[in-house]
């Protein structure tokens, strides 16, 4: 048996994996055009308007509204629902705080639906259990790039007449039964943060076919300024914020939009290859893929049940593999003080303690037991579209070496 690197043996991988290089001459050309226009403001430039039109067309929808970040995109989507303080939004227990921030800032109460075992995504049955007369929306999170069970979610939403927002921060160009994630629910939201499939450093986008939602989101990202296009007395008709994208970001996003589908296809191919190479390792569950969907592998997430998970990940790292343990380690309702301690606005704990809230919601261990358990078993690997199949084969070789050399879990 080959000696593990963590025990002093020779690592499987002794050279660095390729660094991602998403930006090139096409991005520079777009940025140069924006700079040469001498106007980087969203209403008078042309990059953002073109980006919104092209993004909507790519997803086959009527409207796209650009913003400053994925967090802003989700906040705009939540604001478009026009819910009243104290009402509830059901969402996923494992996500970035950006999914939850807009809920709280609108005075709404986040309600968390547990994972379906082995999927890393919300269980539709758990979603339905959490619906009350106060429910005003569902935010699904296509975690890691794996689409949720949207048939079941949309069936529930249609029967209960509840709008669905899709958080696609990690799921660009992700197929599900003939559509892309983000175009199935009422509103789709996207992040353009540096690690995402479509990177601009920071940026966001919301898409919809609903003209009223599109109008409210466009107003919300511009402080509610209704008559901006006309000179004269101002009218602010929506309580909004400044979430306006600038033309430099729009320029980079246009170039990246032309490349993102090919990038995702490359990552899908590499992720599927890794699954094929490790699927027979006892005690390792490869990255799950929802039936009817395809994975975009923003992260390759797998479960370690046959070994002590942290020990397995440390051994992979010693073999030169850039793996990590736990993702967030605990659900968002335990690792965010705004939820776990209700530390929100000054000393008020609004919206949980207010004339509008029920005051009984508790975010504590045991709320979503499947997610809490499986987070401790998760390992993740980040690869990029410029990795080769040989790079993936090295990863798989390290998995096999570590699985053969570590003691099994009792």
Domain ranges of the chain: 25-258
Average pLDDT over residues 13-32: 97
Across the strands, what pairs with 225? 236
Neighbours of 86 (CB within 10 A): 18
CB within 8 Å of 35: residues ≥ 6 apart: 248
Average pLDDT over residues 167-189: 98
Confidence of residue 376 (pLDDT cuts 50, 70, 90): very high
Computed over every residue of the chain, the mean pLDDT equals 97
Q: CB–CB of 371/93 below 8 Å?
A: yes
Q: CB–CB of 106/345 below 8 Å?
A: no
CA angle centred on 365, ends 362 and 370, rounded to 5°? 115
Confidence of residue 361 (pLDDT cuts 50, 70, 90): confident
Model pLDDT for residues 273-305, shown as the tens digit of each residue: 999 999 999 999 999 999 999 999 999 999 999
CB within 8 Å of 135: residues ≥ 6 apart: 87, 88, 89, 90, 111, 160, 162
Whether 388 has a pLDDT exceeding 70, the answer reads yes
Please list the active-site residues.
196
47-59 helix and 25-36 helix, angle to the nearest 10 degrees: 140
The span from the first CA to the last CA of the chain, in angstroms, equals 21
247-278 helix and 389-405 helix, angle to the nearest 10 degrees: 50
**Most confident by average pLDDT, 231-235, 334-338, 349-353:** 334-338
Q: What per-residue confidence (pLDDT) applies to 51?
A: 98
Model pLDDT for residues 231-280, shown as the tens digit of each residue: 788 999 999 999 999 999 999 999 999 999 999 999 999 999 999 999 99
Instruction: Look up residue 127 and give its two tokens.
Output: 């979603």
CA dihedral 57, 61, 67, 69 (to 10 degrees): -100
- Residue 221 half-sphere exposure toward CB, CA atoms < 13 A: 30
Model pLDDT for residues 180-218, shown as the tens digit of each residue: 999 999 999 999 999 999 999 999 999 999 999 999 999
| Phi-psi map region of 3: left, alpha, beta (phi>0 left; psi -120 to 50 alpha) | beta
Average pLDDT over residues 82-96: 97
Q: CB–CB of 226/24 below 8 Å?
A: no
Neighbours of 272 (CB within 10 A): 17
Q: What per-residue confidence (pLDDT) applies to 232?
A: 81
pTM of the model: 0.97
Task: Give the C-alpha separation, 227 to 19, whole Å.
Answer: 46
CA dihedral 190, 191, 192, 194 (to 10 degrees): -150
Task: Give the C-alpha separation, 237 to 122, whole Å.
Answer: 36
Length of the chain: 410
Confidence of residue 228 (pLDDT cuts 50, 70, 90): confident
Whether 142 has a pLDDT exceeding 90, the answer reads yes
User: What is the DSSP pairing of strand 284-285 with strand 187-191?
Assistant: unpaired
Q: How far is CA 86 from CA 135, 287, 353, in A?
A: 10, 37, 9
Domain 25-258 has CATH 3.40.640.10: yes
Confidence of residue 229 (pLDDT cuts 50, 70, 90): confident
Instruction: Look up residue 163 and give its two tokens.
Output: 């709008």
Q: What per-residue confidence (pLDDT) applies to 359?
A: 67
């Amino acid at each position: 048996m080959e000696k593990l690197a963590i025990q002093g043996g020779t690592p499987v991988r002794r050279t660095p994996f390729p660094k991602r290089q998403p930006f090139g001459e096409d991005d520079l050309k777009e940025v140069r055009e924006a700079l040469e226009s001498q106007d980087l403001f969203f209403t008078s430039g042309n990059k953002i308007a073109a980006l919104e039109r092209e993004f909507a067309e790519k997803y086959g929808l009527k409207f796209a509204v650009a913003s400053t970040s994925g967090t802003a995109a989700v906040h705009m989507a939540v604001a478009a629902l026009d819910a009243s303080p104290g009402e509830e939004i059901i969402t996923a227990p494992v996500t970035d705080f950006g999914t939850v921030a807009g809920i709280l800032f609108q005075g709404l109460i986040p309600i968390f639906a547990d994972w379906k075992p082995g999927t890393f995504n919300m269980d539709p049955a758990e979603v339905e259990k959490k619906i009350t007369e106060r429910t005003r929306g569902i935010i699904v999170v296509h975690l890691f790039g794996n689409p949720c069970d949207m048939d079941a979610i949309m069936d529930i939403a249609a029967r209960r007449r509840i709008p669905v927002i899709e958080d696609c921060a990690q799921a660009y160009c992700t197929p599900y039964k003939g559509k892309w994630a983000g175009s199935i629910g009422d509103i789709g939201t996207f992040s353009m943060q540096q690690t995402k499939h479509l990177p601009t450093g920071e940026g966001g986008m919301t898409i919809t076919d609903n003209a009223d939602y599109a109008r409210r989101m466009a107003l919300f990202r511009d402080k509610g300024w209704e008559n901006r296009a006309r000179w004269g007395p101002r009218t602010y008709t929506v309580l909004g914020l400044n979430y306006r994208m600038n033309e430099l970001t729009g320029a980079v996003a246009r170039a990246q939009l032309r490349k993102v589908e090919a990038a995702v296809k490359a990552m899908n191919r590499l992720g599927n290859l890794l699954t094929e190479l490790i699927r027979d390792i006892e005690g390792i569950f490869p990255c799950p893929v929802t039936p009817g969907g395809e994975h975009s592998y923003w992260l390759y997430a797998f479960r370690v049940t046959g070994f002590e998970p942290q020990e397995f990940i440390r051994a992979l790292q010693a073999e030169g593999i850039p793996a990590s343990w736990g993702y967030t380690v605990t659900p968002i309702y335990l690792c965010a003080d705004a939820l776990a301690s209700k530390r929100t606005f000054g000393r008020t704990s609004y919206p949980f303690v207010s004339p509008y809230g029920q005051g009984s919601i508790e975010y504590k261990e045991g709320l979503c037991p499947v997610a809490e358990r499986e987070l401790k078993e998760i390992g993740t690997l980040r690869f990029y579209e410029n990795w080769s199949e040989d790079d993936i084969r090295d990863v798989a070789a390290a998995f096999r070496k570590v699985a053969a050399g570590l003691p099994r879990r009792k």
